[in-house]
Amino acid sequence: MSRLIILLALLGMVGCSDDSSPSGPSPNNSTNNSTNNPTNNSGSNNTNQTNQNTSNNPEDMGVTEDMASDMPEPDMAEDMEPDLPAIEDFPCFHPSSETGCPEGEFGGGAMFTAMELPEDNSCCFDFNSDGATDNRLGTLLGIATSLGFDVNEGLAEALQFGDVIYVLEFANLANTTRDSEFDLTFYTGRDTDIDFEPNFAGNGSVYLRGDAFNSEMPIDPKWQFSEASLSEGVVEASGGTMLLEFPGLLEEVRIQAINVRLEANLSSDSDLAAGGRVTLSQGKLGGIILRDDFYGSLNDASKACECLNREVYDQRASGTYACNSTLADETACQTALPGCRFLASSQYCGVLGTLSGNVDIDTDGDGDNDGYSFGATFETVGTKIEGIDPF
């Protein structure tokens, strides 16, 4: 206590040592210590001027404009920056060499339970930077639907019963909230048993099809994203490739999409370890299908039709395609599968050929559009990836 009293006394002496301080009372009748302390006229030239004033007026307390200007201004941006809570990494996230962690070649899996390609521009991304959502393939599918061929209906049924299985694998994803970089890969799959119902509920397991790889040893997937990140539980990926199929209409049509983007919400209870299950919701997909790949796939389908057994689309010098189906083809395919009947019809096949000039994306920068944009919504449940299909 005595030390405190001495310290205060010393501070008072220092604060009153400048003879430049006014010796009279301030205009507001406050009492200035300089008039009551004879030592204040000691002639000291202390530059640190501080008058001990009992007034609450800043001017009477010796606060000058120069002193105010010397005070550092608060950093508003720093004060307004939100404090992000610390995040603990998921224990044993894949790949992990920690003792006791699950082992396996593949990380957490997410299996598609729904996927729909809107027949308008309501989804999902802008690929040509014109400020509008691009989905030219949806327009083509809308025409097919008007002709009695519903692609989305066939895809929904195939996903529900496991005839088509799409899987996303997550690797090097450390937690379910924020991660600036991880690995996201797209696969086609097959159920590990004959009962698909548990899979659709998120309790099943899948094999990855062999045709999802360029080679099995070493593992070299065909379809993956060049960039993937997680921010506040939202997955964003770009620079991807994936497979599009049209089951129930044209079984042989399997087209690789490029420049694929993805956005989806990641469930906080996802298991990121090897063999774990990852759930995504409110997903959006978008990408580009090259025109040559699209019509080349249709020709593969027509060659597989016994009633046709040939390519029904001829490429013109302009890069567009024309249908060569005849009335005889239509007659020969009357009892064939829906896809073969579609390709054999000079009307339906012809309409699709006419739309070959309706490409909307220039993928190679030569000034000529050569691809169709597409968008799709999707949902997933978790699935355990058992490995590559042994059969």
**DSSP string over 257-312:** EEEEEEEEEEPTT---STT-B--EEEEEEEEEEEHHHHHHHHHHHHHH-TTT-S--
Query: Which pLDDT score, from 0 to 100, does residue 145 have?
Result: 82
Q: Is residue 99 part of a domain?
A: no
Q: What is the DSSP letter of 41?
A: G
Q: Is residue 379 part of a domain?
A: yes
- Longest alpha-carbon distance in the chain: 123
CB-based contacts of 82: which residues, under 8 Å, 6+ apart? none
How many independent structural domains does the chain possess? 1
Q: Is residue 333 part of a domain?
A: no
d(CA 242, CA 210): 15
pLDDT tens for 96-149 read: 888 889 988 999 999 999 999 999 999 999 999 999 999 999 988 888 788 777
User: Mapping DSSP to helix (H, G, I), strand (E, B) and coil, where does residue 7 land?
Assistant: helix
Q: Is residue 121 part of a domain?
A: yes
Closest CA to 18 of 52, 42, 54, 53: 42
Low-confidence ranges of the chain (pLDDT < 70): 1-85, 216-218, 248-249
Query: Which pLDDT score, from 0 to 100, does residue 79 have?
Result: 52
Mean residue pLDDT of the chain comes to 83
Q: Is residue 219 part of a domain?
A: yes
Domain with 280 in it: 108-290+370-388
Q: Is residue 40 part of a domain?
A: no
Beta strand pairing call for 205-208 and 371-388: parallel
d(CA 96, CA 89): 12
Query: Which pLDDT score, from 0 to 100, does residue 216 have?
Result: 64
Q: Is residue 19 part of a domain?
A: no
Q: Is residue 272 part of a domain?
A: yes
